[in-house]
Structure 1
Amino acid sequence: MIIKDVMTLMQSWAPLNYAEDFDNVGLLVGDPDRELKGILVTLDTLEATVDEAIEKNCNLIISFHPIIFKGLKSLTGKTYVERTVIRAIQNDIAIYAVHTALDNHFQGVNAMICNKLGLINRKVLIPQQHTIKKLQTYVPDDHAESLRTALFEAGAGNIGNYDHCSFNLQGTGTFRGGEGSDPVVGKKGELHFEKETQLNITYPKHAEGRILKALKETHPYEEVAYEIYGLDNSNQHIGLGMTGDLPEAMNESSFLKDITQQMNTPGLRHSALRSKPVKKVAVLGGSGAFAIEQAIAAGADVFVTADLKYHDFYRAEGKIVLADIGHYESEQFTKELIVKYLTKKITNFAVVLSTCNTNPVKYLY
């Protein structure tokens, strides 16, 4: 395998198309065509992480957080970011970051928090917009079934828990081939009427390349007529944060104590308690202050997140309990999720879980 093969596997699982616009994801350092030796999976990439990769003979680091977030104007080693990048380059180690592409995944970062807290009936808290597209094309009736099948196999026609979804209309298409044409049906220079099926099918935007390839390879016409539309429909399986229910309601103090145990956090900051039972919970790994109002609107009793500032706690307004468990703590299990996925896909190369604790926040007990 080469490093690019692992990148392909990662992008088929957590497409970079779904990362937030502000993010910096994908291959950040290294040659994608270099032969793969081993993979080290980490939450953050630091100098110590690169040293661990060297020690464990891994020349690819899959990192949740990107080591390069803003543009680098120089590489002189004056910051930890520059020193890490230099050390990786000097030792031919590639660095790939996934970050918000996995934040927006239905089985990603927030699903891991839900697993730890035992939440059921899960839904995306903030569905990502503009992730669904629609293809409309016209095909001779005799070829409609084969084209539908090819598009389904390429990833089109999935809506929520349903697949093979399409809408079909029968009608008559007209065309006349010009001097340089080579029509499959009809004759060059003559107006032709053909019984056709108008095929309408939705697909996720990251699959567009595969969808169009399948369309053009399967469609019988020399010139394929098709239209693509961007839809405003919310995608119920892609987006930031999640909501879920506890199997049984708990009192607030007991639930907060349970969070500290399940999330292995030595400190938890929270807003004023409401003296109400906790049943519905919203979660958002990492910095989640921007989603407080969405958590309230979703009817959550508690919002579990991180990096809340002083004035953010006022925004609870007595409508919700805000629980700040720490940035690292909210995302710490993500690297295990990545290792589990890659281990299933790659059996002949080492996929190593980093043992470095990269949490920059220390606690005084």
Structure 2
Amino acid sequence: MKIKDITNFLEDFAPLKLQESYDNAGLILGDKNAEISSVLVTLDVTEAIVDEAIEKKAGLIIAHHPIVFSGLKKITGKNYIERTLIKAIKNDVAIYAAHTNLDSVTGGVNGKICEKLGLKDCKILQSSGDMLKKLVTFVPVDRAEKVREAVFTAGAGHIGNYDSCSFNIHGQGTFRGSETTNPYVGKKGEQHYENEIRLETIFPSYLQGKVINALLQAHPYEEVAYDIYSLDNKFDQIGAGMIGSLPKEKEEKTFLRQLKKTFDVKMIRHTALQDKKVKKIAVCGGSGSFLLNQAIAAGADFFVTGDFKYHQFFDAENKIVIADIGHFEGEQFTKELFYEILTNKFPKFAVHLSEVNTNPVFYF
């Protein structure tokens, strides 16, 4: 299998356009056309991970955290990043990362955390804005169904738990083709009146190229008239963090014990307990302090995340319990997520779960 066969699938699942501006997701090292026989999935990329890939004959490492965040002017081996890259290059091992783009999708990192905690009715905690667009096009009546199906298949028409959503108005279009045209209906050089349907639907902006290409391929006209409008609506399928509910209420200390067991943590840094039952849980893998206000506004009893600073704990103001389980601990199941989606798509392709613990933090 070629590297691009795998990375294209991953980018359909978690599009690169969803990554934050500071991020560096995607193929970081290697030739996308290279043939490989297996991949190694991991949270981080280190020299030990490259050694493991070599041992397991994995031609591609798929990680959550990009090993390269900012530009490298020299690769001389002066730090672990450069040494890791040198070793990977020498041994023809490619490196790919799915980071904040994988955080943003409902079935991504935070979805896996919700699954591990057994949360129900989960949804995005902070939905993305400036993400939705509306497509308006005009189609002859006899081809409207074909065009609708084409743009729906390309990813348009999703509103919450509904798909194939559109609005259709019957009207009359006019046009006159020049002598160089070959019109689908009417005659060139003559004014034509055609019964058409004004078709409206929405799509996430990162799918624009795919949706417009599907429209152009399915539409019968030589020149396709269409409009695209940017919308201010929130897109609840993409965003930061997630929130869900426990099947049954629990005591606060019982839930803390569940966290310790589920994420195999030796200690949890947390704010004062509220002496009440726990039901609604907000989560964010990695560093989630930026979502504290959203978690409070959503009525969460607990906010499970990592990397809270000392002064940020005061911001809970007895409205919520912050449970800082650690950055690695919150994201540790990401490699399991990679394994599941890859083996479901490519059941006969070798996918190895890394056995190396890359957590740089130890507890005494």
- TM-score of Structure 1 vs Structure 2, range by shorter chain: over 0.9
Alignment match, 2:153:
153
CA-CA distance at 1:333 after TM superposition: 0.7
Query: With structure 1 as the length reference, what TM-score do the two structures score?
Result: 0.97
1:169-212 CA-to-partner distances (Å, cap 9, x unmatched) read 11111112124322222222222211111000112333322222
CA-CA distance at 1:155 after TM superposition: 2.2
Alignment match, 1:263:
263
SS at match of 1:223: coil
In structure 1, distance between residues paired with 2:93 and 2:302: 42
SS at match of 2:235: coil
Alignment match, 1:118:
118
Once the two structures are overlaid, the 10-residue window that deviates more, 322-331 or 126-135, is 126-135
In structure 1, distance between residues paired with 2:221 and 2:236: 36
Alignment match, 1:221:
221
Whether 1:99 aligns to 2:122 is no
CA-CA distance at 1:356 after TM superposition: 0.5
Alignment match, 1:175:
175
SS at match of 1:7: helix
Aligned length: 364
CA RMSD after TM alignment: 1.2
Alignment match, 1:61:
61
1:21-57 CA-to-partner distances (Å, cap 9, x unmatched) read 2211000000101111210000000011001000000
CA-CA distance at 1:313 after TM superposition: 0.3
SS at match of 2:237: coil
1:239-278 CA-to-partner distances (Å, cap 9, x unmatched) read 1111111122122222112211111111110011222221
Query: With structure 2 as the length reference, what TM-score do the two structures score?
Result: 0.97
Whether 1:252 aligns to 2:252 is yes
Q: Kindly provide the amino acid, as one letter, of the partner of residue 241 in structure 1.
A: G
SS at match of 1:173: strand
SS at match of 1:238: strand
Alignment match, 2:286:
286
Alignment match, 2:189:
189
In structure 2, distance between residues paired with 1:248 and 1:185: 62
In structure 2, distance between residues paired with 1:10 and 1:268: 33
SS at match of 1:347: coil
Alignment match, 1:86:
86
CA-CA distance at 1:150 after TM superposition: 1.9
SS at match of 1:58: coil
SS at match of 2:157: coil
Q: Kindly provide the amino acid, as one letter, of the partner of residue 109 in structure 1.
A: V
Alignment match, 2:335:
335
In structure 2, distance between residues paired with 1:258 and 1:37: 39
Alignment match, 2:19:
19
Q: Kindly provide the amino acid, as one letter, of the partner of residue 166 in structure 1.
A: S
SS at match of 2:340: helix
| Long gaps (5+) in structure 2 | none
1:201-234 CA-to-partner distances (Å, cap 9, x unmatched) read 1123333222222211111111000111222221
In structure 1, distance between residues paired with 2:347 and 2:131: 32
Alignment match, 2:236:
236
CA-CA distance at 1:13 after TM superposition: 1.4
Whether 1:129 aligns to 2:129 is yes
CA-CA distance at 1:8 after TM superposition: 1.0
In structure 2, distance between residues paired with 1:121 and 1:142: 41
1:149-168 CA-to-partner distances (Å, cap 9, x unmatched) read 22222222122211111100
Q: Kindly provide the amino acid, as one letter, of the partner of residue 260 in structure 2.
A: T
Alignment match, 1:73:
73
SS at match of 2:318: coil
Alignment match, 2:52:
52
SS at match of 2:267: coil
SS at match of 2:21: coil
Q: Kindly provide the amino acid, as one letter, of the partner of residue 210 in structure 1.
A: K
Q: Give every structure 1 segment of 4 or more consecutive aligned residues whose post-TM-superposition deviation is greater than 4 Å.
A: none
CA-CA distance at 1:348 after TM superposition: 3.2
In structure 1, distance between residues paired with 2:133 and 2:89: 39
In structure 2, distance between residues paired with 1:181 and 1:82: 58
CA-CA distance at 1:331 after TM superposition: 0.4
| Long gaps (5+) in structure 1 | none
Once the two structures are overlaid, the 10-residue window that deviates more, 294-303 or 150-159, is 150-159
Q: Kindly provide the amino acid, as one letter, of the partner of residue 44 in structure 1.
A: D
1:77-120 CA-to-partner distances (Å, cap 9, x unmatched) read 11111111111111111101001111111111112211222211
- Equivalent residue runs for 1:24-39 within 5 Å: 24-39=24-39
Alignment match, 1:363:
363
Q: Kindly provide the amino acid, as one letter, of the partner of residue 273 in structure 1.
A: L
In structure 2, distance between residues paired with 1:348 and 1:283: 34
Q: Kindly provide the amino acid, as one letter, of the partner of residue 223 in structure 1.
A: E
In structure 1, distance between residues paired with 2:319 and 2:342: 41
